[in-house]
Structure 1
Amino acid sequence: MKNWIAAFRLRTLPLALASIGMGAFLAAAAGAFNGLVFGLCALTTIFLQVLSNLANDYGDSIHGADSVEREGPSRAVQTGAISKEAMKMAIVIFVLLSLASGIALIYVAFGWLTFNFNLFLGIGALAIIAAITYTAGYRPYGYAGLGDISVLIFFGFVAVMGSAFLYEQSVSMNYILPAISVGFFSVAVLNVNNIRDIESDVKAGKRSIPVRLGRASAVRYHWFLLFSGFVAAMAYVVLNYVAITQFLFVLSLPLLLVNAKAVYTKHKASELDPFLKQMALSTLLFVVLFGVGNLL
């Protein structure tokens, strides 16, 4: 059980919940929050994130990114703690759990076999495919350096604007800026991971953004993500200003600065690794402060 809990990588869940949390806060500010929809949305998100983590563990072990030379935390399949067959079975189980929870979610939100039901069923299927094929399969897109784009799309636009749609039953282009904020901060989490793993990724042929740019440029890219995500949130508040409390999210800025400094100064994988969790939790705090500030 300890090996499976480690493989689930529970420290990644705050980031996933932050994404759908932003959508829930935006909907609540518009007077459209639904507790059952939120619960099912959170459950589906957790299943999808665990699915992604298990597929990543399996895929990186198969393709060599999780070799014995890797400096980051060891993975279950790589070390033999979980067999390849057991991991594949777990992936299938979490695909089914994600489907079941997702179908229940969109049924509660839209009813049975409506246009929106079918639309979101398709989006959910794409999310499952994206979670699996990031590092698994014959041509994993994560190895081509496309993971950042995928995270921006699914953790940013799909999670924030899509989850808000579940409550409000309409698309608000006004939510693009909060979606960009969460999307860029989510990409920043992935970027910390990829900067940490540059050396092992080079040996495995994984062409992540830091591998392509080099460490120095990857650090500047990281600063761009943090700066742009914060500016997008500021722009949203300025364009939708009602009360000073909307700037409550500014309290999360010191944590973002700590992360920016760490990526620049920490060169050992063991030193940089804690800042993946720090960035994920910082993003969750940012979302909570942003959401509460808009509700007050």
Structure 2
Amino acid sequence: MSDSKIKHWLEAFRLRTLPLALSSIFMGNFLAKWEGKFSWSILTLSVCTTIFLQILSNLANDYGDSIHGADSAEREGPSRAVQTGVITKKQMKTAMFLFAGLSLISGLLLLGVAFADRWPLILVFLTLGLVAIYAAITYTAGKNPYGYRGLGDISVLIFFGIVGVFGSYFLQTRQLDWPIIWPALSCGFLATGVLNVNNIRDIESDQKAGKISIPVRLGRDKAVIYHFCLLSLAMLSGMIFIGLIDGSWSSFLFILTFPLIVKNGLAVKNKKKPAELDPYLKQLAVTTLLFVILFGIGLVW
């Protein structure tokens, strides 16, 4: 494979989305460490499984948007591999099957390490894993992609927030503690915010392609208000959790990310051109990971 081909594949993997995908996994593991139950092998396999799933989702998104017309020549965001023809549809489908398989293998290894011979737990998490793979593929691919009906936001909130945090926490602790719903929601709201920035950037091309995202439904002005709501709820959820556990001063370290979160909201409001808005997807994704790291350090310090 030539260097240029490798470059195109790396671009299709959209590695800049990985910090966001890993945020909920790190949050769940930080919470488990705070509870005094932690395994490096479980964390490592969780990270591998998450990376494979996220790349699968990105490839499926590239493939699905191209065949449904959302990645047309009129789209002003970064070009996609299938759209430009540097990767064929057949090659992309093969890569999707490959990463679906890697996700499944890594997930099975993870369940074996976490639960050994506890088959009921293994079956529950295997089902969740298969649902996650299905959700990643059908977001924009398939005959009736749910991302084209404005359901991507709820999917991101569930998988990048609630399922990601609760699942990774349970893998380490084998218990569910409902107060962690608040940090789970923090991750979910911030991840949904990243999707919302993407959808606001692509609002015109999505509208022409029949992709009815939340910004297409609401219009840009109301989508900006929605964005501020997501960011505010993320910050509030984190504060509620620290209040519930009566945390020490170090537990509030994550507040240091609040100016970066507010900066993102203001950028989404003021920057109208897609090219100007595009960097703020990465900015919010990295800010989310920083939020989680500071949140976790504050807990386990």
Give the 3-state SS of the residue equivalent to 1:32 in structure 2. coil
Q: In the aligned structure 2, how far is the partner of 1:285 from the partner of 1:96?
A: 30
Alignment-derived partner of residue 212 in structure 1: 217
Code of the residue aligned with 2:108 in structure 1: it is: I
Q: What displacement does 1:112 show?
A: 3.5
Partner AA of 1:64 in structure 2:
G
Task: Determine the C-alpha separation between the residues in 2 that align with 1:113 and 1:252.
Answer: 40
1:87 aligns with 2:103: no
1:273 to 278, 286, 290: 278
1:237-256 paired onto structure 2 within 5 Å = 237-256=242-261
What does residue 4 of structure 1 align with? Answer: 9
Aligned AA for 1:293? G
Letter in 1 for 2:249: I
The verdict on how the C-alpha distance between 1:237 and 1:74 changes in structure 2, with shifts beyond 3 A counting, is: same
Report the Cα distance in structure 1 between the residues aligned to 2:254 and 2:197, rounded to whole angstroms.
22
The structure 2 residue matched to 1:71, chosen from 63, 76, 81, is 76
- Out of 29, 38, 48, the residue aligned to residue 43 of structure 2 is 38
Amino acid paired to 1:290 = F
Q: Distance in 2 between matches of 1:102 and 1:112?
A: 15
Q: Which amino acid aligns with 2:226?
A: Y
The offset of 1:113, in angstroms, is 5.6
Alignment partner of 1:168 is 2:199 = no
Q: Specify the code of the residue in structure 1 equivalent to 2:268.
A: V
Distance in 1, Cα, partners of 2:253 & 2:172: 24
Q: SS at the partner of 2:284?
A: helix
Q: d(CA) in 1 for partners of 2:104 and 2:167?
A: 16
Which string of whole-angstrom CA distances, capped at 9 and with x for unpartnered residues, describes residues 128-163 of structure 1?
A: 000000000000000000000000000000000111
**Aligned residue pairs, count:** 296
Cα displacement (A) at 1:93 = 0.2
Letter in 2 for 1:193: N
Partner amino acid for 1:188? G
Counterparts of 1:18 and 1:90, CA distance in 2: 24
Pick from 149, 153, 160 the counterpart of residue 148 of structure 1. 153
- The correspondence for 1:99, drawn from 104, 116, 141, is 104
| 1:262 paired residue number | 267
Alignment of 1:48 onto 2:41: no
Q: Is 2:207 the partner of 1:202?
A: yes
Alpha-carbon distance in 2 for matches of 1:282, 1:189: 10
Q: Which residue of 1 aligns with 2:233?
A: 228
Matched, 1:136 2:141: yes
Identity across aligned pairs (percent)?
Answer: 59
Deviation at 1:69, TM superposition (A): 0.3
Amino acid at match of 2:263: V
- Listed one character per residue, the Cα deviations across residues 39-71 of structure 1 (whole Å, up to 9, x for unaligned) are 000000000000000000000000000000000
Deviation at residue 172 of structure 1 after TM alignment: 1.1
RMSD (Å) for aligned C-alpha atoms: 0.6
Query: Please, what TM-score do these two structures have when normalized by structure 2?
Result: 0.98
Matched residue, 1:287: 292
CA–CA distance in structure 2, aligned partners of residues 15 and 241 of structure 1: 28
Which stretch has the larger CA shift, 51-60 or 110-119? 110-119
Which residue is 2:3 aligned to?
none
Distance 1:81 1:20 in 2: 33
Is 2:192 the partner of 1:187? yes
The one of 101, 108, 122 equivalent to 1:117 is 122
* Off by >2 Å, runs of 4+ in structure 1: none
Q: What do residues 195-240 of structure 1 show as CA deviations (whole Å, max 9, x unaligned)?
A: 0000000000000000000000000000000001100100000110
Q: CA shift at 1:242, angstroms?
A: 3.1
C-alpha displacement of 1:19: 1.1
1:114 deviation in Å? 1.2
Gaps of 5+ in 2: 1-5
Which amino acid letter does the alignment assign opposite residue 167 of structure 2?
G
Superimposed CA distance per residue, residues 83-122 of structure 1 (whole angstroms, 9 cap, x where no aligned partner): 0000000000000000000000011000146111000000
Q: Distance in 2 between matches of 1:10 and 1:109?
A: 27
- Per-residue CA deviations over 1:233-287 (Å, capped at 9, x if unaligned) read 0000011013110001000001001101100001000000000000000000000
Residues in 2 aligned to 1:43 and 1:242: alpha-carbon distance in whole angstroms: 31
Amino acid aligned to 2:126: L
Letter in structure 2 aligned against 1:129:
Y
Residue 191 of structure 1, CA deviation: 0.2
